[in-house]
Amino acid sequence: MFRSHTCGELRLQNAGKHVTLAGWVQTVRKFGAITFVDLRDRYGITQLVFNEHLNNQLGEQPLGREFVLQIKGTVKERSNKNSVIDTGEIEIDITEFTILNKSAVPPFTIQDDTDGGDDIRMKYRFLDLRRNAVKKNLELRYAVNRSARNYLHENHFMDIETPFLIKSTPEGARDFVVPSRMNQGQFYALPQSPQTFKQLLMVSGYDRYYQIVKCFRDEDLRADRQPEFTQIDCEMSFVEQEDILNMFEELIKRIFLDVKGIHYTDAVERMSWENAMWQYGNDKPDIRFGMKICTLKKPTSVFTEKTDHAGLIADANFVVFDSAETVLAIAVPGGAAYTRKQLDELTEWVKRPQIGMKGLAYIRYNEDGSLKSSIDKFYSEDRLKLIADASGAQKGDIIMILAGTEERTRKATSELRLELGEQLGLRKKDEFKLLWVLDFPLFEYSEDDNRWVARHHPFTSPKPDQIKTMIENNPVIEDASNYLSHPYAQIKANAYDMVLNGNEIGGGSIRIYQRELQEKMFAALGMSEEESVHKFGFLLGAFEYGAPPHGGIAFGFDRLCSILGGSESIRDFIAFPKNNSGRDVMLDAPSSIEETQLKELQIMLRGEK
Amino acid sequence: MFRSHTCGELRLQNAGKHVTLAGWVQTVRKFGAITFVDLRDRYGITQLVFNEHLNNQLGEQPLGREFVLQIKGTVKERSNKNSVIDTGEIEIDITEFTILNKSAVPPFTIQDDTDGGDDIRMKYRFLDLRRNAVKKNLELRYAVNRSARNYLHENHFMDIETPFLIKSTPEGARDFVVPSRMNQGQFYALPQSPQTFKQLLMVSGYDRYYQIVKCFRDEDLRADRQPEFTQIDCEMSFVEQEDILNMFEELIKRIFLDVKGIHYTDAVERMSWENAMWQYGNDKPDIRFGMKICTLKKPTSVFTEKTDHAGLIADANFVVFDSAETVLAIAVPGGAAYTRKQLDELTEWVKRPQIGMKGLAYIRYNEDGSLKSSIDKFYSEDRLKLIADASGAQKGDIIMILAGTEERTRKATSELRLELGEQLGLRKKDEFKLLWVLDFPLFEYSEDDNRWVARHHPFTSPKPDQIKTMIENNPVIEDASNYLSHPYAQIKANAYDMVLNGNEIGGGSIRIYQRELQEKMFAALGMSEEESVHKFGFLLGAFEYGAPPHGGIAFGFDRLCSILGGSESIRDFIAFPKNNSGRDVMLDAPSSIEETQLKELQIMLRGEK
């Protein structure tokens, strides 16, 4: 060992002890004949004192930032104590030192507030990883990993490794593929998730499975997506939805406790997908704050069981509302005080192409009870009052109203709500609110192919009382313009998402475990019998030999860590992330490979002769 | 939940309790109007009793093997207790049952001694996994995983995930590659190990890293190799070899304790690579038994510091020994009693092509002290006695002697020793002997390229006192026939292998952490400066910014589990293994992919137009 102690462990009670430390030079400060050096390692920082007798030696072997240094010396009490760091009461009186390795001047400063831009820090990721901010993130990640494993172990889950070189069954996302040298012309695929394997393990009787495992999707990378990402992947047998919800909200609560010291004792809220869309405009609502959406008007074809307030805005000759498919309102607490400028800015904000609205109407509900609006021309104060009441506004609030097509307007209102929540400080970083979103539609309609696609994945079971609907109806959509009236449109999935502060952190479902139902599902998704057997024959086969009822969930590990760490970016929680083009700029990967490699694999690049 | 208890937990003290169980039908036995069913799940087997009142129902819904059954009933004491299983004192008096899923007749019996051949069991791996023998293996694997993680956590190692989509740097084994769609014409590679990443993490100051991680090698599969395999991968900073040996022999001892209940209190033996080769003929000796090799004769060019017993066999006009490069002997305990037939069989055994010797000479050292040999014509009894003494034989032993070229003869003698050890019952399954093999040569000579190749890998440091030899000498081999006289041939690596019962279970080294030395290493391996920067520029770069001394080890997790489980085959310890052609016969992978996938990746199969 190059050290007797780490740089984080010496205390006042060690005074007088002869110690050997090793670490990196954080700072060098000269005061006349004395030199102070802060020595850093993973565990902390210790102050070193080089006295006069080492002056010559320091002259010959000057120390620089990030040099790797080994020292011997004696622990002594500091005269000038530093209460910020754990070792702040002591320093080391150096008797000898050895420079174990030198360092060039780093291309950016290794500090919390570094001067390095994103690109340079990614290229020199091994230096960026030295920064305390990044180190804390990876420590948090490990703590989450450890906590999850402990909880799952205590609950009889077994970590079972599933293969990485599997079969390509593109369905939804694109597979990464791996050419096989030993089976020429054939390819493995990297798993998008261990879904079918964990289901097979249930068929095999393993009862409770988990894995913290890399998954791969060859998607065009939006901001904050990675081609390889990590899941906490779990599956249980002989369970119903309720059992899964209980088991896994406790997992997340345990992680809160172990990692953040937070006792999350509240019951986890539950909300149907329909209510989430209706009240918040999206399926992963941030419920740290209210400002629920009031639906003034909606088309009859969607949310068929919900009632709007169309009467409040009708018969006023306001062509914008009259011609709009959908009109939605939110009441913004204290918003009556918004200035004209603020309202103009918000109007510009909703008109940005990402939001795509034509404008923003508003009603001020003043503290004195009077109401003034941008649509005074069309609506009397009485009417405004009724709208304000419907939207749940209080005196002092402002009601914002958006109008347009159903999907876009709901999305825009949801975005506006989140933006205003942010501006109003209602999305507190240190507040955590969990939510289960339930009862998703089993299918989504694909206009391109005029067929159903699985909203979750093709292994998700319908609600038990809707299995019959699924089996007994023909999935073919005869009338594309009226797809919502097809019985399949009403089938709800036995599926659940866990949402934390407006982010989906996990999702899963009770699975299909009957061959007949699974075949019907594949058929509903437009797969021929031949295709479904080619792709998933092993699973259909397995269902013939005593498959138990089962279900599971997968958590996005990177995302979970980033939220717990209070960051927007999952990249900050990955040791060696890729950029938005899927490149590792440190390694310079991907890269060209040698012709001999291509030949051995019996493939060639297109455009070659 | 479909159950109130598992099939493994009910005991006599639960008598009278109303319970719900779910599981698989293991056996159905009818006795008149009563039917006994053994219900199985991961946790155990519980006996169910269907009494007369359920007869009709059982008639309408007959139960078959592997049916998934849910029952309600009352726990009662058995009249006929079964002491073999934990639940053997009770049975369940059934009040109602539900068949949750039926099962076709399995293609082989789900029992320890199954009638299923290897191929059918691999195709139906999900059924094979139900067998208790396989389940125990995966449980053991998880126990090893858990134990290793706990030990490493307690010793401040952090699990840090490294990327799977990296850069191809073929060096040694072949990479699996992954075409990049977003960077056309370029490829990722799957990691053969996280070697360079864990070293970067040391440069980044993470101090102690571990990962239980999949690695990939596209090699022609010998028996019991898998294209994807799992390592327990570890790295530490500020350590010397001694620190690593101590840390990781304790890891394995901890695993012995946690998983097998074995207190491994013996000191772990250490042996130089040269002594291992000299005494056992290979670098991973099984030291559960003796029978060390006696070198009667060897060429002067190898094992230069070792002395043979050439005088004992010289000057006897025995052309076989006189013309042989190497003559080796082993004394077999009690072997004097071997029959002529046994000796003929052993002679045939060494003449098999896999062993490749021309014959086997022997000397019987009879209980009465007399000596008789197959080479009596050439050697007097006195000489035979001297040879017997040199080989360490006792009265009652037989000395077996092989002659030929150095490498082949040493290997053959090693194989013969292991075979005889097996036959004599000296390789006991329940005995575990750990061994560190140390001081490997840093380089091996490649005849094909007339250059050095790294015996371990290019990041292994030479012994500290030989760094100078490496830096100061030109690696070029001027005289191929005399490569052993090149200074590099004598350089020893700062590397270590852990051997368990004759299997290498782990290996590692102290790493190079100086740019100059790493560059010299790449040059020694015949890499141009350009090539080394292209492939490993990031690592060379990292070494310029304060790399600490560091080293590590990687254990072959699959192999470790199989040895602890007392099996020859790693495949038995992998949930979904591949066959010797790298195929997953259950999935039928690899397989052809769609033309659209190839087009998107801008690759095509050779032979296509």
- The alpha-carbon gap from B388 to the nearest alpha carbon of chain A, in Å, equals 46
Establish if B206 touches chain A: CB-CB under 8 angstroms.
yes
- The tokens for A269 are 């809220």
**Would the CA dihedral through B454, B456, B459, B464 be positive or negative?**
negative
CB B476 within 8 A of CB B452: no
CA distance A2 to B239: 6
Q: Output the CA–CA distances (angstroms, integers) from residue A155 to A207, A251, A252, B251, in the order listed.
A: 11, 10, 14, 25
Q: How far is residue B135 CA from its own chain's centroid? A: 19
CA distance A202 to B101: 13
- The alpha-carbon gap from A522 to the nearest alpha carbon of chain B, in Å, equals 17
* Confidence band for B608, pLDDT divided at 50, 70 and 90: low
% of chain B surpassing 70 pLDDT? 100
3-class DSSP state of A283: coil
CA distance A391 to A385: 10
pLDDT (tens digit per residue) in A215-250:
999 988 777 789 999 999 999 999 999 999 999 999
**Was domain A289-427 assigned CATH 3.90.320.10?**
no
Beta carbons of B170 and A594 less than 8 Å apart: yes
- Averaged pLDDT, B148-156: 98
Contacts of B66 in chain A (CB under 8 A): 545-546
CA distance B445 to B455: 9
* Confidence band for B225, pLDDT divided at 50, 70 and 90: confident
pLDDT (tens digit per residue) in B243-252:
999 999 999 9
Residue A163: which of B168, B243, B584 has the nearest Cβ?
B584
Q: Which amino acid is at A70?
A: Q
- The alpha-carbon gap from B168 to the nearest alpha carbon of chain A, in Å, equals 7
Bridge partners, A270 (sequence order)? A436
Query: Is ipTM > 0.90 here?
Result: yes
Residue B429 reports pLDDT greater than 80:
yes
Beta carbons of A204 and B130 less than 8 Å apart: yes
Closest by Cα among B295, B584, B283, B607 to B456: B283
Q: Output the CA–CA distances (angstroms, integers) from residue B178 to A188, A227, A489, A586, B191, in the order listed.
A: 10, 12, 39, 18, 11
- Averaged pLDDT, A27-31: 93
Establish if A207 touches chain B: CB-CB under 8 angstroms.
yes
Beta carbons of B604 and A603 less than 8 Å apart: yes
- The alpha-carbon gap from A459 to the nearest alpha carbon of chain B, in Å, equals 17
**How many CA within 13 A on the CB side of residue B295?**
26
Q: Which residues of B16-43 are buried (b: 16+ CB within 10 A; e: fewer)?
A: eeebbbbbbbbebeeeeeebebbbbbbb
Which helix (H) or strand (E) segment holds residue B510: the answer is strand B503-510
Establish if A526 touches chain B: CB-CB under 8 angstroms.
no
- Closest-CA residue of B relative to A585 is B538
Beta carbons of B160 and A178 less than 8 Å apart: no
Establish if A108 touches chain B: CB-CB under 8 angstroms.
no
Q: Name the more confident of B118 and B102.
A: B102
Beta carbons of A101 and B183 less than 8 Å apart: no
| Number of A–B residue contacts, CB under 8 Å | 355
Query: What stretch(es) of chain A map to CATH 3.30.1360.30?
Result: 289-427
B 41-80 residues with CB < 8 A to A: 41-43, 66-68
pLDDT (tens digit per residue) in B257-293:
999 999 999 999 999 999 999 999 999 999 999 999 9
Which residue in the block uniquely carries the two structure tokens 């990746």? B601
Q: Output the CA–CA distances (angstroms, integers) from residue B480 to B300, B486, B590, in the order listed.
A: 17, 9, 43
Q: Output the CA–CA distances (angstroms, integers) from residue A604 to A27, B189, B401, B600, in the order listed.
A: 53, 16, 54, 14
Q: Which amino acid is at B188?
A: Y
3-class DSSP state of B98: strand
Establish if A587 touches chain B: CB-CB under 8 angstroms.
yes
Query: Judging by beta carbons within 10 Å of its beta carbon (0-12, 13-18, 19+), is residue B542 exposed, middle or buried?
Result: buried
A275: Cβ contacts below 8 Å, ≥ 6 apart:
none
CB B491 within 8 A of CB B461: no
Determine the pLDDT at residue A571: 93
- Averaged pLDDT, A522-543: 93
CA distance A332 to A391: 10
> What integer best gives the mean pLDDT of chain A?
95
pTM of the model: 0.96
- The tokens for A97 are 């030192």
Mean pLDDT lowest among A46-50, A381-385, B568-572: B568-572
CB B399 within 8 A of CB B317: no
Residue A228: which of B43, B163, B513 has the nearest Cβ?
B163
B342: Cβ contacts below 8 Å, ≥ 6 apart:
none
CA distance B183 to B208: 34
Beta carbons of A187 and B135 less than 8 Å apart: no
- The alpha-carbon gap from B607 to the nearest alpha carbon of chain A, in Å, equals 8
**Was domain B12-101 assigned CATH 3.20.20.70?**
no
Query: What stretch(es) of chain B map to CATH 2.40.50.140?
Result: 12-101
B313: Cβ contacts below 8 Å, ≥ 6 apart:
B296, B297, B321, B327, B379, B387
A 358-397 residues with CB < 8 A to B: none
Q: Output the CA–CA distances (angstroms, integers) from residue B167 to A226, A515, B173, B376, in the order listed.
A: 16, 42, 14, 63
Determine the pLDDT at residue B233: 98
Q: End-to-end CA distance of chain A: give it in Å, rounded.
A: 58
Contacts of B574 in chain A (CB under 8 A): 161
3-class DSSP state of A337: helix
3-class DSSP state of A462: strand
Determine the pLDDT at residue A608: 57
- Averaged pLDDT, A361-380: 95
- Averaged pLDDT, B175-179: 96
Contacts of B142 in chain A (CB under 8 A): 158-160
> What integer best gives the mean pLDDT of chain B?
95
**Would the CA dihedral through B167, B168, B169, B175 be positive or negative?**
positive
Contacts of B216 in chain A (CB under 8 A): 164-165
Establish if A258 touches chain B: CB-CB under 8 angstroms.
no
- The alpha-carbon gap from A9 to the nearest alpha carbon of chain B, in Å, equals 13
CA distance A353 to B529: 51
Beta carbons of A176 and B178 less than 8 Å apart: yes
Query: Judging by beta carbons within 10 Å of its beta carbon (0-12, 13-18, 19+), is residue B298 exposed, middle or buried?
Result: buried
Query: Which CATH code fits B133-264+555-597?
Result: 3.30.930.10
Helices (H) and strands (E) in chain A, counts: 17, 23
A 538-577 residues with CB < 8 A to B: 538, 541-549, 574-576
Residue A126: which of B125, B542, B604 has the nearest Cβ?
B542
Residue A514: which of B101, B126, B214 has the nearest Cβ?
B101
A 121-150 residues with CB < 8 A to B: 124-127, 129-130, 135, 138-139, 141-142, 145-146, 149
Determine the pLDDT at residue B609: 45
Which residue in the block uniquely carries the two structure tokens 């049916």? B67
Query: What stretch(es) of chain B map to CATH 3.30.930.10?
Result: 133-264+555-597
CB A134 within 8 A of CB A574: no
- The alpha-carbon gap from B166 to the nearest alpha carbon of chain A, in Å, equals 6
Q: Which amino acid is at A67?
A: F
- The alpha-carbon gap from A525 to the nearest alpha carbon of chain B, in Å, equals 18
Determine the pLDDT at residue A25: 96
Beta carbons of B129 and A201 less than 8 Å apart: yes
pLDDT (tens digit per residue) in A395-417:
999 999 999 999 999 999 999 99
Q: Which amino acid is at B235?
A: E
CA distance A236 to A206: 8
Closest by Cα among B104, B109, B133, B91 to B7: B91
A305: Cβ contacts below 8 Å, ≥ 6 apart:
A274
- The alpha-carbon gap from B112 to the nearest alpha carbon of chain A, in Å, equals 15
CA distance B66 to B24: 5
Establish if B216 touches chain A: CB-CB under 8 angstroms.
yes
CB B210 within 8 A of CB B158: yes
Closest by Cα among B301, B299, B346, B341 to B323: B299
Establish if B605 touches chain A: CB-CB under 8 angstroms.
yes
Give the number of other CB atoms < 10 A from CB of residue B477.
19
Which residue in the block uniquely carries the two structure tokens 């599997």? A166
Determine the pLDDT at residue A550: 98
CA distance B609 to B605: 9
- The tokens for A426 are 């209602």
CB A115 within 8 A of CB B528: no
Contacts of A546 in chain B (CB under 8 A): 24, 66-68, 101-103
- The alpha-carbon gap from A461 to the nearest alpha carbon of chain B, in Å, equals 15
Contacts of B515 in chain A (CB under 8 A): none
Beta carbons of A589 and B167 less than 8 Å apart: yes
Residue B129: which of A180, A204, A214 has the nearest Cβ?
A204
